[in-house]
Chain A
């Protein structure tokens, strides 16, 4: 029997179309088993690293925890403090995410706050957002330091820079002394005991000047060796142990702190 090309063609055509249709049907049937589901693992997240309450404002530092090969680079975002309702945008300083909020009276009564927000950035080059909520304790930072000292005619002028979140009362001064920085050292004056002087500073950043007349009037054990700087010495140290009472809404807290300042008078050493 002679082969009929038409018959062969028809046969192969029907066969191959049948194969094609079967494959299409089979693919649709097996598709749910063929595909896989993947999710990100070891993805970066945000934790609140610290909340520092200072006289200049509240600083919330956010830490980006990259625990894996995926590196997140922050570019912006915002935070909301749940307890105070404050919402601010974050700033990125050298890869550190910091939010600065104005200090409000509510912060004084809080021990910890909940912080929520979104930090936007890139994850391996893809745009990404990290939404977070974290509770962190508050650190209240009050600083008092000596910025300037002068001593002349038995009068000591001390300028204090006071950065506190609550009003403070500075009282008293205990065992202050001024001496040369030399070997051996010489006292200019020293007091043993309490000098009752009261200075009030409101909350915030302020400079407060103490003017103390150093004389035996201050107390029984006050030794004044000189009413001026000693000749031949230009480098001095002031020891100023003080008591500071912080007037929190929840009650007053008094702490004692030693302020020191080493300074150079005139030129040379």
Chain B
């Protein structure tokens, strides 16, 4: 798991969570205001509150969530990053479309006029459009996902430390070595790698020795390579 991908996920989550609390786009005014929330436009008009949900508003955060999650779920191929970049661009364009919806259907300028028993009342509803912080985060997410796509999420150079057992599993999977998961570890043929606290133990026969990750991978591969070559024979073997 790479920091770059985690960063992308963090931005997506930050966008959605922040958006619940502050509007991504709003038109503020004393008696008339519009706020874009994840569930639609909240329109306030002299104490009345209405929620107008254009369908595109749901696509904004669904696509943003996809853009954040996909690089974490699908890590095998760089196409995952391409798809995530597409999702983030789609999310941004859905936001733009939703703002256009406001401009087209909820736009209001100047005076509201209402009849009274002796005439009319004209109320000036001056409004100021404001782009909220969540929109900037979404913009950052889009830029980051495109950057991640271009660099294959390798612009930081460091790697997030993940569960060593999963790291071993990934190597075994790539080499098509058959193994089985046991509690806190893996078992390949006659040896077991068990994680206890922060250290790895290699169990062979009755004895257990503490090993580092490199040795553990090397040992399991060494044992695993003695397996009969099964590539192309085992159906549904690949994840």
Q: Interface size (B, Cβ < 8 Å)? A: 50
Q: Are A9 and B79 touching (Cβ within 8 A)?
A: yes
Interface assignment of B238: CB less than 8 Å from any CB of chain A: yes
Binary flags per residue of A26-37, CB closer than 8 Å to B gives 1, else 0: 111011101110
Which residues of A lie under 8 Å from residue B125 when comparing CB positions? 126
Q: How far is the CA of A30 from the CA of B31 in the complex (A)?
A: 27
Q: Are B118 and A23 touching (Cβ within 8 A)?
A: no
Q: How far is the CA of A70 from the CA of B121 in the complex (A)?
A: 12
Binary flags per residue of B204-239, CB closer than 8 Å to A gives 1, else 0: 000000000000000000000000000000000010
Interface assignment of A130: CB less than 8 Å from any CB of chain B: yes
Q: Interface segment, B11-19, B44-52, B159-167?
A: B44-52
Q: Are B119 and A124 touching (Cβ within 8 A)?
A: no
Which residues of A lie under 8 Å from residue B54 when comparing CB positions? 27, 30-31, 34
Q: Are B118 and A128 touching (Cβ within 8 A)?
A: no
Contact among A12, A13, A30, A130 with B116 in the assembled complex (CB-CB below 8 Å): A130
Which residues of A lie under 8 Å from residue B78 when comparing CB positions? 5
Contact among B86, B87, B97, B121 with A45 in the assembled complex (CB-CB below 8 Å): B121
Q: Are B121 and A26 touching (Cβ within 8 A)?
A: no
Q: How far is the CA of A28 from the CA of B93 in the complex (A)?
A: 15
Q: A16-B87, A23-B94, A69-B47 are in contact. Are A125 and B30 (CB under 8 A)?
A: yes
Which residues of B lie under 8 Å from residue A24 when comparing CB positions? 56, 94, 97
* Other 5 A-B pairs with CB < 8 A, given A126-B30, A126-B123: A9-B79, A27-B101, A35-B106, A36-B52, A38-B45
- Which residue numbers of B lie inside 8 Å of A, CB to CB? 29-32, 43, 45-48, 50, 52-56, 59, 63, 66, 76-80, 82-83, 86-87, 90, 93-94, 97-98, 101, 104-106, 112, 114, 116-126, 238
14 contacts between A and B (CB under 8 A): A5-B80, A6-B79, A9-B80, A26-B55, A27-B54, A35-B52, A35-B105, A36-B43, A38-B46, A41-B114, A47-B117, A124-B30, A125-B30, A130-B120
In the complex, the 10 A-B pairs of residues with the closest C-beta atoms, listed nearest first: A45-B116, A5-B77, A40-B114, A132-B119, A9-B79, A127-B124, A125-B30, A5-B79, A132-B118, A128-B123
